[in-house]
Amino acid sequence: MDSAVALGTFLQHLINGLTLGAIYGLIAIGYTMVYGIIRMINFAHGEIYMIGAFVGVTGFTLLSAAGVGSVALGLLAVLVVSILFTAAYGWTVERVAYRPLRGAPKLAPLISAIGMSILLQNYVMLTQGARPKPLQPVLVGGLTLWRGENFDLSISYIQLFIMLLTLVLMLGFTQLIQRTPLGRAQRACEQDRTMAALLGINVDRTISLTFVMGASLAAVAGVLVTMYYGVIDFFIGFLAGMKAFTAAVLGGIGSLPGAMLGGVLIGLIEAFFTGYVSGAYKDVAAFSVLILVLVLRPTGLLGRPDIEKV
């Protein structure tokens, strides 16, 4: 392999890794937002993402059957419907699995969240079937960035769309957290929920909206992964959720930029491990990173150590 082909291959793996990392980052933000405000991990978040993917497949299929030819209109409609559906599921998970156990020992809501994850997974399997659901390509074509004698470097329109949309959402959520009353309420609840309540903040509503926001991002990730791979099943939420959790821990759970950084790094690790070693062991590589981070830097790359209040 000459140097030009080697460089082209490296850059192609880089593009694939950034695309995959953007999806993981969107899911990871949901984990880190919930942990930041209630100091608990929502292990049903992966199933929320999976439900968003199924809503996406159903929406695109219905629009195709109805003869809707506009890709932009169809994509906007599917994203909106998917966000509404998954937001309702996210709100329900918080009300059923977390709010009644908010004052209980931390093991209780953890077990409740795992039970909710299994419930949602089997609920989708029973209602949608266990077989994979295919989807016809929605965005086709791409751009050739570099053309060589033996190798062409290209980026598809769906990859470009995923990265641009993720960047816009990341910037938008950062501004929302930093500059809006809801963001200030979330940061206050993260610091001290009791004091926030004394200052007039509706803590229950703030926590519910945090779950809804995380679920909305998971819905977007579900629609994007459906468009990217063209096939889903009821089990995709478990593995993607665990990898997004790994990304959140890697970046520093509780940090929004850290969640996105961790997602990008996990995506790059998977892409390069698949390209240069073996795709069969890419999951081993991703979870090995989690073990190393927990051993060497438990707070993650951008995380801060918790300060115990006395």
pLDDT of residue 27: 92
- Tens of pLDDT, residue by residue over 11-70, are 888 999 999 999 999 999 888 888 888 788 888 889 999 999 999 999 998 888 888 778
Measured distance CA(94)–CA(33) in Å, rounded? 13
Measured distance CA(3)–CA(273) in Å, rounded? 20
AA identity, residue 34: V
Residue 148 CB contacts under 8 Å (≥ 6 apart), including other chains: 4, 5, 8
Q: Where are the beta strands (DSSP E) in 33-172?
A: 133-134, 142-147, 152-156
The pLDDT of 208-236, averaged and rounded, is 91
Q: Model-level pTM greater than 0.85?
A: yes
Q: Is 119 exposed, middle or buried (0-12, 13-18, 19+ CB in 10 A)?
A: middle
Which two three-digit tokens encode residue 303? 């995380």
The answer to whether 289 and 246 have CB atoms below 8 angstroms apart is yes
Q: Strand, coil or helix: what is 140?
A: coil
Q: Is 285 exposed, middle or buried (0-12, 13-18, 19+ CB in 10 A)?
A: middle
CA dist 63 → 57, 83, 147, 234 (Å): 10, 17, 36, 22
AA identity, residue 59: G
Residue 310: pLDDT over 50: no
- Tens of pLDDT, residue by residue over 233-256, are 888 988 888 889 889 888 888 788
pLDDT band at 267 (very low <50, low <70, confident <90, very high): very high
β partners of residue 147: 152
DSSP one-letter string for 1-34: --HHHHHHHHHHHHHHHHHHHHHHHHHHHHHHHH
| Residue 132 CB coordination number (10 Å) | 12
- Tens of pLDDT, residue by residue over 153-173, are 888 899 999 999 999 998 888
CA 83 to mean position of chain CA atoms: 13
The pLDDT of 92-99, averaged and rounded, is 88
- Tens of pLDDT, residue by residue over 109-164, are 888 888 999 999 999 999 988 899 988 888 888 888 777 666 778 888 999 999 99
Which domains does the chain show, CATH number per domain? 3-296 (1.10.3470)
Residue 307: pLDDT over 70: no
Which two three-digit tokens encode residue 3? 């140097």
Average pLDDT of the chain? Answer: 87
Which two three-digit tokens encode residue 295? 């051993």
Residue 257: pLDDT over 60: yes
Backbone angles phi, psi at 133, to 5 degrees: -105, 115
HEC states along 151-174? CEEEEEHHHHHHHHHHHHHHHHHH
The answer to whether 9 and 152 have CB atoms below 8 angstroms apart is no
Q: Is 157 exposed, middle or buried (0-12, 13-18, 19+ CB in 10 A)?
A: middle
Minimum mean pLDDT range among 92-96, 144-148, 176-180, 214-218:
144-148
CA dist 142 → 9, 155, 161, 232, 259 (Å): 17, 6, 11, 23, 28
